[in-house]
A = this chain, B = another copy of it.
Amino acid sequence: MKPALLVATKGWDVESWARRIRPLLPDRPILCTDRAGIYHGADADLAEIHYILAWKPLQETLDRLPSLRVIFSLGAGVDHIFALTRLPDVPIVRIVDPDLTARMTEYVVWQVLHHQRLGPAYSAHQRERVWRDIDPPAAHQVSVGIMGLGVMGGSAARILVRLGFKVRSWTRSPKRMAGVESFHGAERFDAFLAGTDILVALLPLTPDTRGLIDLPLLRKLRRDGPLGGPILINAGRGGSHVEADIVAALRDGTLAGASLDVFQTEPLPADSPLWDLGNVVITPHVAAVSDPVALAGQIAGQIEAFERGEKLKNRVDPRRGY
């Protein structure tokens, strides 16, 4: 038998992941936690585990894995792993998947177009059966600012450039892309915001990004753009924004609209004022959903390559946290 795997997910359908990975790695034991992330079997079984496929793994589960070699995150984000107190000294690998990238690109392009093309206004008129001929601005009049120009942000940026939008990016370290005006470093952050009509946040959740999108930041966005005020799209992590500040910004006109796929508490509580604020699009953390079919093959391939002595791809830098 080859080294064993543990699928450990909290709140997700563990078995749907295991079912996809088993046929790809038929000659190894594949164990599973329950839906709460708890493993009910013997410690002796866990002692054989080399790989964990994890979504919000429990500290107590990780503590029971003395032979662990690699942690595979089952999502693009790894904040659910760095949230733990004690991490074993093994590589942490995140998902970088063409399918996941395509899904996020769809979501970002959809929501940018929805606001640029005045979707919320037409929708309000439709409910009142009113034909009102308001003209949306052209894409080339609208500046989209992307925070987090990783694989997903870069893919969305390429399509937005093709559609004619003015696209700018802000990154920690310098990063260039054709057709995109790039800003980097803390000292250029305000200049980036000052020229942004639609702010797209695709940030990983790290100590640096936690609570980053607050009222002072939103007040720095471009006020005299063609959409009557700036728009926020957050499809990264809810922890990177302050929801009370977004509500205040929407109420006092600091923001003209928002599309939120992620929230500080998920599911978004039924009493959140966000649900029915005007010009807000709420989706239930579905911008880029990990697809077991598409991802199982990638993880199986990485395990086999790792055992042949090849380098793991998409390793997380624990100092940066992404």
Q: Which residues of A contact B (CB under 8 A)?
A: 99, 102-103, 105-107, 109-110, 113-114, 116-117, 119, 122-123, 125-127, 129-136, 138-140, 158-159, 162-164, 266-268, 270, 272, 275-276, 281-286, 289, 291
Contacts and interface: CB of A to CB of B under 8 A. Distances in A.
Given A122-B283, A134-B286, A162 B162 contact: yes
Contacts of A291: 138
A31 B51 CA distance: 79
Across the A-B interface, give the 3 residue pairs with the lowest CB-CB distance, nearest first. Answer: A131-B267, A110-B113, A129-B275
A289 B122 CA distance: 15
A280 to B, nearest CB: 8
Copies in the complex: 2
A158 B158 CA distance: 13
5 contacts: A102-B163, A110-B114, A129-B275, A133-B286, A134-B286
B102 A107 contact: no
Given A130-B270, A133-B286, A162-B162, 20 more contacts: A102-B164, A106-B163, A106-B164, A109-B113, A110-B113, A110-B117, A110-B119, A114-B114, A126-B275, A126-B281, A129-B270, A129-B272, A129-B275, A129-B276, A131-B267, A131-B268, A133-B284, A135-B286, A159-B162, A159-B163
A232 to B, nearest CB: 16
A127 B276 contact: yes
A34 B133 CA distance: 20
A103 B110 CA distance: 15
Nearest to A291: B138
A282 B138 contact: no
Contacts of A284: 122, 125, 131-134
A275 to B, nearest CB: 5
A126 B123 CA distance: 14
A95 to B, nearest CB: 15
Nearest to A107: B117
Contacts of A266: 131
A286 B109 contact: no
A99 B138 contact: yes
Instruction: With a 10 A CB-CB cut-off, give which of A99, A106, A270 has the most chain B CB atoms.
Output: A106
A16 to B, nearest CB: 12
A118 to B, nearest CB: 8
A132 B275 CA distance: 13
A149 B123 CA distance: 28
B163 A109 contact: yes
A133 B282 contact: no
Contacts of A105: 163
A210 to B, nearest CB: 23
A106 B116 contact: yes
Nearest to A131: B267
B102 A138 contact: yes
Nearest to A132: B284
A290 to B, nearest CB: 10
